[in-house]
Amino acid sequence: MTPQVSLIVISYEMKRELPRTLLSLSPRYQNCAAEDCEIIVVDNNSRERPDAASFAGLNANLQVLSCSQPSQSPARAINEGLVRARASLIGVWIDGARMASPGLIKTCLAASRLHERPVVATLNYQLGPNLQRISCEQGYNQATEDGLLDSIDWPKDGYRLFEISTPEMKGGPTGAMLESNALFLPRPLWEELGGYDEQFSEPGGSVVNPDTLIRAVALPGVQLIRVVGEGTFHQVHGGMSTSSQKSAINVVMEGNRTYMRLRGKPLTQVRQHGWIFDSRTGEVIR
Amino acid sequence: MQPTQHNIAPEVLRAWMVKYICGVLGLDAATFSTSDRFDVYGLDSVEAVIMAGVMEEEFQVLVDPNQFFEYPSVDEFVNAFTSQASVG
């Protein structure tokens, strides 16, 4: 049976974080049937590669692949996942350290049905009292984070993740959007886009994710649909843009240089509002 | 980061910043006030960091993005940045 949604989840050295992410994408947590959603984890050369058997208890339609040509950038791993995906709607989860809210998959599926050529973007959050590049400099760490998750008794009510996290977008749901960790496009749009651009070969892919969002919303006739009421929540794991202010600035500065070299113009955020789909009310603001 | 030697004229830098910010934010330069704070116009920290990088390329100087937070308007930044050039 062909699933309705395929999720490509990229993993690299996420032994602590990936189990929570996959639990948050599991059928029970997402309240969907296992056969409706396939999860394709593509590991990008972790020293200890994730083992599908260890996630058998999730009862998910889950496979774990190893990228055939791993590199510092996740772009190749994503593209290999896109080739394997079977569903008509495909979500790319560039950072396997991000947990989901409980209605994310169903909501993105519903949002995708609002338009013939939808670009469905979810909003990014970071666990903790501030953006992690700031909170990590103030002592926030994995132990703090474990305590926070315990404090809301996660995964009992996954929506409580909003209580212990910080939105990445300062301008709110309609504000400037640099990237979306969980970006859902119909398969034909991924094909038109050519997947992720593997020229972004720097560690972490540099700004390959912002580039993908920019290119996606620039495709002819597409409709950007921002999903609110759901989100992805970053667990701290030493990522380059979340460990310190200095490293975050460096990532953006270097990323912009790469972007200018490849695209011939400065990196920008996506400022178009698009449509807003609120999972809590089902309301669509066009 | 140490300020770098340069001889960028304040009016040149001011004009460049206005053009850049208005281009990014889709604003009419005629209505842009160089004395207003960046956040009045919705220029956030990500875009400030990007602007620093573009400015480096444009003028071949080092720009510390933190200066945009210390001097959060075009006028304040231009005054600070161009006065640094004479130091050292």
**Residue of chain A minimizing CA distance to B25:** A271
B25 vs A contacts (CB less than 8 Å): 271
Tell me the H-state helices in chain A.
Answer: 17-24, 27-30, 75-84, 104-112, 132-135, 142-151, 187-193, 208-217, 245-263
CB contact under 8 A, B24 and A268: yes
Length of chain A: 286
A260 part of contact set with chain B, CB < 8 Å: yes
Task: Say how far apart CA B65 and CA A175 lie, in whole Å.
Answer: 21
A256 part of contact set with chain B, CB < 8 Å: yes
Task: Check residue A150 and give its pLDDT.
Answer: 97
Q: Tens of pLDDT along A192-205?
A: 999 999 999 999 99
CB contact under 8 A, B65 and A260: no
CB contact under 8 A, A268 and B50: yes
Q: Tens of pLDDT along B54-70?
A: 999 889 999 988 899 89
Least confident of A38-42, A168-172, B3-7: B3-7
Task: Check residue B88 and give its pLDDT.
Answer: 38
Q: What is the mean pLDDT of residues B11-15?
A: 95
Beta carbons within 8 Å of A50's beta carbon, 6+ residues apart? A11, A14, A15, A18, A41, A43, A64
Query: Does the structure's ipTM exceed the value 0.85?
Result: no
Task: Check residue A18 and give its pLDDT.
Answer: 97
The answer to whether A65 and A40 have CB atoms below 8 angstroms apart is yes
Write out the residues of chain B at the interface with chain A, using a CB-CB cutoff of 8 A.
24-26, 42, 44-47, 49-54, 57, 65-66
| Tally of helices (H runs) and strands (E runs) in chain B | 4, 0
Task: Say how far apart CA A232 and CA A124 lie, in whole Å.
Answer: 5
Residue B12 has pLDDT above 90, yes or no: yes
Q: Which of A206, A173, A196 is nearest to A283 (CA)?
A: A173
A220 part of contact set with chain B, CB < 8 Å: no
The answer to whether B22 and B32 have CB atoms below 8 angstroms apart is yes
**Residue of chain A minimizing CA distance to B20:** A266
Q: What is the mean pLDDT of residues A137-157?
A: 95
Residue A158 has pLDDT above 90, yes or no: yes
Task: Check residue B87 and give its pLDDT.
Answer: 46
User: At residue B81, what are phi and psi to the nearest 5 degrees?
Assistant: -70, -45
A176 vs B contacts (CB less than 8 Å): 42, 44, 46-47
Q: Structure pTM?
A: 0.91
Task: Check residue B86 and give its pLDDT.
Answer: 52
Task: Say how far apart CA A69 and CA B57 lie, in whole Å.
Answer: 33
Across the interface, of B42, B45, B50, the residue whose CB is closest to A267 is B50
Helix axes B10-25, B74-84, angle to 10 degrees: 140
User: How many CB pairs (< 8 A) connect A and B?
Assistant: 46
DSSP label of A126 = E
Residue B3 has pLDDT above 70, yes or no: no
CB contact under 8 A, B65 and A171: no
Q: What is the mean pLDDT of residues A224-249?
A: 88
Name which of B17, B40, B50, B60 to mutate to probe chain A: the one with the most chain A Cβ atoms within 10 A of its Cβ: B50
B10-86 has which CATH code? 1.10.1200.10
B46 vs A contacts (CB less than 8 Å): 176, 178, 252, 269
Least confident of A60-64, B24-28, B34-38, B83-87: B83-87
The enclosing H or E element of B74 equals helix B74-84
The answer to whether A78 and A196 have CB atoms below 8 angstroms apart is yes
**Residue of chain A minimizing CA distance to B26:** A271
The enclosing H or E element of A91 equals strand A89-93
Residue A186 has pLDDT above 50, yes or no: yes
